[in-house]
Amino acid sequence: MKLRYFDHNATTPLAEVAKTAWLQAVDTQWLNPSSPYRQAAAVRVRYEAARASLAELLGVGVSRVVFTAGATEANNAVFRHWGDRLSADARVGVNPTEHPSVLEAAKAFLGERVLWLPLLEDGRVDLNVLEQQIQSGALTAVSVMAANNETGVIQAWPEIARLCQQAQIPYHCDASQWVGKMPLGGLSDCGYVSACAHKFGGPKGQGFLLLPEGEEGCHILYGGAQEALHRAGTEDVAGVMAMLAALESAAVGEAELRDAFIGWICHELPGARVVGIEADRLWNTVSLVMPQFQSVRWIRRMERAGFLLSAGSACATGKSTVSHVLSAMGLETAEAGRVLRISSGVETTAEDWQALADALLSAWGDLQREAQASNSQVISID
């Protein structure tokens, strides 16, 4: 049975170019780049060249790029830094549909200084309200992601970056779902940007953080002098090389196949609807509310049919509550419990999308028949 993967927002398969770059670095660039001999210095040169290449892709100065162990580490670093630097009466505007690594870090390091930003019905931060808050001086800093990992809803991050620049307040943008899927232009206007490699074909445990130009006080890890004193620890040269190779080869996809799937499934499956459909969304993402049956039943049924998809953020798997993203968008608990998150990759074909639609309709029929049989059995027992 062919396995079709529709959970790219959780993680992506390692790209061949990334695997090649990693293996080459493991074989030829395994020396500690901080060691004093010339062979190690050669590794340092290549490592810094990779930083310069990433900076060029992002349109930023080299000194802004800090390599991290992923976006979760980067997000925690930003909020810990803000927690240390901002005054007790500061107010930091945070989008309530952020990834858990942002929400929990904000709560842990800022506490009552967090001000949850109001949303429009489609899941976007209300830009008019945010602009008023920034211009009135009510906010000391802002954190709003580029695109949501569950719904694909794209925030107005370029406009938010502009507003924060004009007010001269810090802006953090978690771009984990943007980098590698969408154009990189404009991210340089955000003060702090976090991203992780495994969302675009790179290795897990590798990412980066963009800091504002001249930032010196943000210490992710203490110890050695690596990463210009921002993050101590022996450099993961192979991981950086693999991440760069993956990003250089990443392609921006088109939404036509996704939209055809949406049109077909919503026509053939009465009651199904897409969360955030009124907003601009990532080309690869569908947050689909099913008309009946809990998400887990759909997921297990689809897995048996050869399709891997999810109900929401992989980082929230195992929690008994419904998605905080869907709750923040106003979905009722029962409705949120029927949501499937479907996320494709650039290699996903029209045949894959059609096969998924067919499998969902087949599963719908099976689940209905099972429910009817169960109800009949209960009635006969009574």
Strand partners, 143: 94, 172
- Say if residues 177 and 187 touch (Cβ distance below 8 Å): no
For 136, 276, 336, the CA distances from 129, given in Å and listed in that order, are 11, 20, 26
What tens digit of pLDDT does each residue of 63-105 get? 999 999 999 999 999 999 999 999 999 999 999 999 999 999 9
Is 118 in a helix, a strand, or coil?
A: coil
Tell me the average pLDDT of the chain. 94
Q: What is the residue-wise DSSP string for 261-272?
A: HHHHHHHHSTT-
* Residue 7 bridge partners (DSSP): 343
CA-closest candidate to residue 159, choices 179, 149, 173: 173
Residue 292 per-residue DSSP state: S
Contacts of 28 (CB under 8 A, 6+ apart): none
* pLDDT at 322 (0 to 100): 84
Which residue did the predictor score with more confidence, 317 or 221? 221
Q: Residue 313 has what pLDDT?
A: 58
Residues 154, 182, 54: CA angle, nearest 5 degrees? 125
Would you state the pLDDT for residue 10? Answer: 97
Spatial contact of 276 and 119, defined as CB atoms under 8 Å apart: no
Q: Residue 337: pLDDT band by 50, 70, 90 thresholds?
A: very high
**Residue 319 above 80 pLDDT?**
no
Confidence band, pLDDT 50/70/90 cuts, at residue 371? confident
What was the pLDDT predicted at 314? 55
CA distances from 49 to 52, 56, 67, 344 (A): 5, 10, 13, 32
pLDDT band for position 373 (cuts 50, 70, 90): confident
State yes or no: pLDDT of 25 exceeds 80.
yes
- pLDDT tens digit sequence for 210-261: 999 999 889 999 999 999 899 999 999 999 999 999 999 999 999 999 999 9
pLDDT band at 340 (very low <50, low <70, confident <90, very high): very high
Domains contained in the chain, CATH given = 4-11+252-381 (3.90.1150.10), 16-249 (3.40.640.10)
Please indicate whether residue 22 or residue 378 has the higher confidence score (pLDDT): 22
pLDDT band (50, 70, 90) for residue 287: very high
pLDDT of residue 130: 98
pLDDT at 135: 96
In this prediction the pTM is: 0.94
Q: Would you say residue 320 has pLDDT above 90?
A: no
Q: What is the pLDDT of residue 217?
A: 87
The residues that are catalytic are 315
Q: Which residues neighbour 233 within 8 Å (Cβ) at sequence distance 6 or greater?
A: 221, 223, 224, 226
374: confidence class by pLDDT, cuts 50, 70, 90: confident
CA distance 281 to 329: 15
Please tell me the distance from the alpha carbon of residue 41 to that of residue 63, in angstroms, as a whole number: 19
Confidence of residue 278 (pLDDT cuts 50, 70, 90): very high
pLDDT tier for residue 376 given thresholds of 50, 70 and 90: low
Quick one: what percent of the chain has pLDDT higher than 90?
91
Torsion of CA 132, 133, 135, 141, to 10 degrees: -150
* Residue 380 scores a pLDDT above 90: no
